Structure 1
Amino acid sequence: MVASKILVFGSINIDEFFYVPHIVISGETITSTKYTQKAGGKGANQSVAIAKAGAKVWHVGKIGRDGIWIKEYMESQLVNVEHIIISEEQPTGRAFIQLSQSTRDNAIILLPGTNYLLNEIEAQKVLTQGFGKGDWSVFQNEIGHIGGEILKLCKNHGLTTVLNAAPISEDITKIFSFDLVDYLIINKLEATELYRQVLAINVTTELSPTELLDALSNAFSQLIGIIITLGNDGLVAWFRPEKRVYTLPAFKTTLYDTTGAGDAFTGYFVASLSRNQLKNEQNNEFISTDTKSFILPTVDQFLDSLKEAIVAAGLSVSKYGAMESIPYLKEVQEKLESF
């Protein structure tokens, strides 16, 4: 059997980092002690993470001529970039990132740029070039409303779908048809906002991660798996075939920069599942015909994928940057032994 292919439809950004004493507040002016520019964008970060995790990944997106160097860097990391389109109309998307030196967290302002120029015709053309059943598609919420339309195309072509619903928006349930999503990855803040939208109520009390997990698993009956990441507190996850809840701690490392940690997690989780899919396909372990995906992981494989992803995320925060901080598979496997 041939290894499954992974398509990432996502953003490509030029990340501009400002190193500040603390995140700026309204009306305040502060001085940045350092400035750097790096390759980023949630989609591009996840493509690089998937490639570093050893899987075959194609990135689909748009850049301006000012972003050609990012395309070249992604290619050097073994991401297939043949479907990255260069636009003459707009500059590449931007992310303006404040890195707090006191708390080590960040605040980000996004400028969509070329990320919102990808269209349905271009996506359909990509899908007809050898992608179908057994392959994967990965989405975030940084390419505008077209993301939801492309997700529908992917499901129609038989691809397994993964949605990292970030950054969360007030209309995300209108952008994406969640009944077409197989795996959902979100953090607690995003899960709370999604809960509010789905139940059409204001959340006046803080809900626990397991309460959010229970509500979302009931609301989206087609989902195979839901993962809610909790930063330093690890994660909770739901695996529908076994109706099982997992709780895992974070992989503890020295914290320098949280930028891209969620992307490292998503990329490694998808790459790990796709590797297991190949093993199960070789063993003819197909899932039932009444589901919209084709091959399920076992309980142990789902758990192993979570562990691999959480170690990758932990290692990524011990370095500065987004793409550059994502570890390679060998590093992750070495640390897995002690997790």
Structure 2
Amino acid sequence: MVEPKILVFGSINIDEFFDVPHIVFSGETITSAKYTQKAGGKGANQSVAIAKAGARVWHVGKIGHDGIWIKQYMENQLVNVDHIIISKEQPTGRAIIQLSQETRDNAIILLPGTNYLLNEIEAQEVLAQGFGKGDWSVFQNEIGLIGGKILKLCKNLGLTTVLNAAPISENITKTFSFDLVDYLIVNKLEATQLYRQIFTINVTSELSSSELLDALSNAFPQLIGIIITLGSDGLVAWFGPEKRVYTLPAFKTTLCDTTGAGDAFTGYFVASLARNQLKNEKNSGLISVDTESSILLTAEQFLNSLKEAIVAAGLAVSKHDYPYKPHILKIPSQFDLSLPCPPKFLEKKIL
């Protein structure tokens, strides 16, 4: 059996971090204690996380000449960058990130830049190079309206589709055909905004995460899985083929910086699912009979993938430089999510 290939159609940004006393108020001027520049973008972050989790990943996107160093960096992290296009039209996308010293939370301003220049013909050319049934495609909402068109191309070729509907937009249900999505990953705020779009209801009272999960699973019954991440409160998830609901606490670590935690979660989750798919193709006795999808996952494998991803996200918030260190986390097959400190993880250096 051939190891699944994972295509990430996503943003590449130059992230500019400002350490500030608190997130700036309207009309306020504050002084940043520190300035840092890093490679970023939800798409690029997820590609790197997938590579760190040991899966084969190809990134598809655009950068300007000012972002060539990011392409080189991603290649060093074992991401295939053959389909990253350098554009002369615009600069690389930017993310201006405020890091609050008071709460360790963040606020982000995005400049799309070259991220909105990817077109359908370029995507078709990539997909024609040996990608098809058994492979995976991952999307976020940072490459403009073209994202939905590319998702449809992937689904037509039999790729499993994963949508991290972030950042949420007012027309995301028009940009992406949710009936073509296999896995949906959102945080609670995004889930609430998605609920409003689907049901055209102005929610006056806060819905619980369980209520949101129930509503989304009823609205999109064709989905294999729905995950609503809850930050320090963990997550709730629904596995469609066996109609199971899971609630997991967060993996507790020392909070350092929440930037990129969701991308680490998505990357490790997808990589784990792809590994399980390969195992199932080698052992047909593990195939779930409740789904006609080529994903071939069981509820237990879905749950284990959630656990692996939630550990990765916990480690991500504990390090300023995650996921920028070149290593693959080896997640133990058994662990106690209630542990006050993470267990010892093996780190395999990538040479």
With structure 1 as the length reference, what TM-score do the two structures score?
0.96
Residue 253 of structure 1 aligns with which residue? Answer: 253
Residue 20 of structure 1 aligns with which residue? Answer: 20
Q: Secondary structure at the match of 1:329?
A: strand
Gap runs ≥5 in structure 2: 338-351
**Identity %, equivalent residues:** 81
Q: Deviation digits for residues 54-106 of structure 1, max 9, x if unmatched?
A: 00000000000100000001000100000000001110000000000010000
Q: Secondary structure at the match of 1:222?
A: coil
Deviation at 1:295, TM superposition (A): 2.7
Deviation at 1:328, TM superposition (A): 2.7
Residue 276 of structure 1 aligns with which residue? Answer: 276
User: For residues 133 and 304 of structure 2, what CA distance do their matches in structure 1 show?
Assistant: 24
Residue 264 of structure 2 aligns with which residue? Answer: 264
Q: Deviation digits for residues 241-295 of structure 1, max 9, x if unmatched?
A: 111100000000000100000000000000000000001011125566974x313
User: For residues 259 and 73 of structure 2, what CA distance do their matches in structure 1 show?
Assistant: 18
Deviation at 1:329, TM superposition (A): 2.0
User: For residues 263 and 219 of structure 1, what CA distance do their matches in structure 2 show?
Assistant: 25
Residue 46 of structure 1 aligns with which residue? Answer: 46
CA-based RMSD of the aligned residues comes to: 1.5
User: For residues 275 and 57 of structure 1, what CA distance do their matches in structure 2 show?
Assistant: 12
Residue 147 of structure 2 aligns with which residue? Answer: 147
Q: Secondary structure at the match of 1:83?
A: strand
C-alpha contact (below 8 Å) 2:74/2:81 kept by paired residues: yes
Q: Secondary structure at the match of 2:67?
A: helix
User: For residues 289 and 90 of structure 1, what CA distance do their matches in structure 2 show?
Assistant: 47
Q: Secondary structure at the match of 2:166?
A: coil
C-alpha contact (below 8 Å) 2:154/2:161 kept by paired residues: yes
Q: Deviation digits for residues 285-321 of structure 1, max 9, x if unmatched?
A: 5566974x31321111000000000000000000114
Gap runs ≥5 in structure 1: none
User: For residues 110 and 326 of structure 2, what CA distance do their matches in structure 1 show?
Assistant: 21
2:133 is aligned with 1:126: no
Residue 347 of structure 2 aligns with which residue? Answer: none
User: For residues 24 and 290 of structure 1, what CA distance do their matches in structure 2 show?
Assistant: 49
Q: Which runs of 4+ in 1 moved over 6 A?
A: none
User: For residues 33 and 100 of structure 1, what CA distance do their matches in structure 2 show?
Assistant: 11
Residue 328 of structure 1 aligns with which residue? Answer: 328
Residue 337 of structure 1 aligns with which residue? Answer: 335
Q: Secondary structure at the match of 1:274?
A: helix
Residue 93 of structure 1 aligns with which residue? Answer: 93
Alignment CA distance shift 1:325-1:195 (3 Å): farther
Alignment CA distance shift 1:325-1:229 (3 Å): farther
Residue 181 of structure 1 aligns with which residue? Answer: 181
Alignment CA distance shift 1:247-1:37 (3 Å): same
Deviation at 1:177, TM superposition (A): 0.1
Superposition map of 1:1-339 within 5 A: 1-284=1-284, 285-286=286-287, 291=292, 293-321=293-321, 323-324=323-324, 328-330=328-330, 332-333=331-332, 337-339=335-337
With structure 2 as the length reference, what TM-score do the two structures score?
0.93
User: For residues 287 and 326 of structure 1, what CA distance do their matches in structure 2 show?
Assistant: 35
User: For residues 101 and 71 of structure 1, what CA distance do their matches in structure 2 show?
Assistant: 31
